[in-house]
Amino acid sequence: MYLNDEEKAMLAGEMGEGVRLAMKVLVGIGEALGAGRMVPITRAHVALSNQEADTWFAEKLRAAGALCRVPPTVNPGFCLSYFQAAGMIQEADRRQMERTYQVYKDLGARLSFSCTPYLLDNIPHQGELVAFSESSATPYVNSVWGARSNRESSQSALCAAVAGRVPEYGLLLPENRRATAEVEVRAELAEDYDYSLLGWLAPRLIGPHIPVFNGITRPPSPEALMNLGAELNTAGATPMYHLAGITPEARTLDQALSGRTPELRVEVTAADLAETRRNLFEPGGSIEFVMFGCPHHTLRQVREVAKIVEGRRLKAELWLLTSNYTREMARRMGLAQIIEAAGGKIVPDTCVDQPTWRHLAGKKGATDSPKCAYYTKRRDLRFVVRSLRECAEAAVTGVIQ
Ligand code: F3S
């Protein structure tokens, strides 16, 4: 792999041990994946998990003197002040989150603690070279913004932020960004939730191909595109998709395919989506809680929930996770007060996959996100997965179909 003089000096440790370590990881990845050279990045997002191995690696870089050249935004762990005040965490949880907070602060990260930076404060332009980890973020920046990122891990994205560069392979190269599977959508995608169903189903049909979805006529909302990417990259490993006539590298079906014949063609019908919905995790029935915000809910989604619960009293716990920014906006606009008056909670800076949710273990809840149901299985949270509208109604009635 070619390295310029500066990169050779970085790898030789002439710019400090932290930079050397980051470069060693990046060069190892580049050599394993056939990269010809390194290329500079201008943005990064690190999907910190607030779990031991992840924090350990960040601390190793810090101990070696690393600092981020490209300050990355970061995923949520959990909001210490919120959960301490609520008395919902144990001493070991507090220590772990404090370590995570401190190490990313010391490394010079932007402590945004949200999994939707691509809709908030880390929005690349078309063609920009970036290093994004987080399963909903990578497809969004590639597909919707037309930026170029590989499906980074938390660790490789952090190394990229420290070194300010990434090995050039995969989706950084235009020839690897074309669709190789055509998915003909013969169903009306009326709600954002339908995109979650499509994203959950598609990887089972197309495997590791980059899909172009054809036949979608109604322009999707940002939330629909967020859902699609989150589920494609959770049910499968699909860091990029095209929507013919909608996303920037797919002005036409032909452009998405780079003028070639797709290697695979499949069809998705309304019946396929209905069956996907039927088979998603738990069957309907009584629920004890509703969890929203995986990925973090946007202000529009908060407003939708507020509209449904306004003036009503909730039978089930309602937890709505979002960025600190959106929570503050929701408060200014009176939406947070509406949800709280009904008995719901809006939680900033927090992920569904954290020890903060112990009290929900073994209970059955509802969520609008298959990703939420998938990741929290290991914490023994059980979910019925339905649309935002159905879940918000279920928070009021305590029952979901
Ligand atoms: Fe965000 Fe955690 Fe879900 S990072 S997308 S809430 S698994």
Q: In a 10 Å sphere around its CB, with 0-12 CB exposed, 13-18 middle and 19+ buried, how is residue 279 labelled?
A: exposed
Separation between Cα atoms, residue 49 and residue 97, nearest integer Å? 10
- Asked whether 188 and 158 are in contact (CB, 8 A), the reply is no
- Ligand 1 centroid to 81 CA: how many Å? 19
Tokens of 291: 């969890």
Q: What atom of ligand 1 comes closest to residue 293's alpha carbon?
A: 6
List phi, psi (to 5°) of 15: -110, 20
- pLDDT reported for residue 20: 98
Q: Is 295 in the pocket of ligand 1 (CB under 6 A)?
A: yes
Give the global pTM: 0.98
CA-nearest residue, atom 3 of ligand 1: 294
- Asked if residue 259 lies in contact with residue 175, where contact means CB atoms within 8 angstroms, the answer is no
Q: Kindly report, residue by residue over 107-147, the tens digit of the pLDDT.
A: 999 999 999 999 999 999 999 999 999 999 999 999 999 99
User: Averaged in consecutive runs of 10 residues, what is the pLDDT profile of the chain (401 residues)?
Assistant: 98 98 98 98 98 97 98 98 97 98 98 98 98 98 98 98 98 98 98 98 98 96 98 97 98 98 98 97 97 98 98 98 98 98 98 98 98 97 98 98 95
Q: What separation in Å is there between the alpha carbon of 42 and the centre of ligand 1?
A: 24
Tokens 């497809």 sit at which residue? 139
Whether residue 62 has its Cβ less than 6 Å from ligand 1: no
Ligand 1 neighbourhood includes 281 CB (under 6 angstroms): no
**80: Cβ–Cβ under 8 A, 6 or more apart, which residues?**
94, 97, 98, 101
Name the CA radius of gyration of the chain, rounded.
21
Q: DSSP letters along 26-39, please?
A: HHHHHHHTT--SEE
Place of tokens 């009584």: 286
Q: Using alpha carbons, select from 223, 218, 272, 273 the residue that is nearest to residue 245.
A: 218
Q: CA torsion 221→348→371→93, rounded to 10°?
A: 170
The C-alpha atoms of residue 8 and residue 23 are separated, in whole angstroms, by 9
Q: How much distance in Å is there from the Cα of 133 to the middle of ligand 1?
A: 12
Q: Which of 294, 297, 298, 378 has most ligand 1 atoms within 8 Å of its beta carbon, as the pocket-test mutant? A: 294
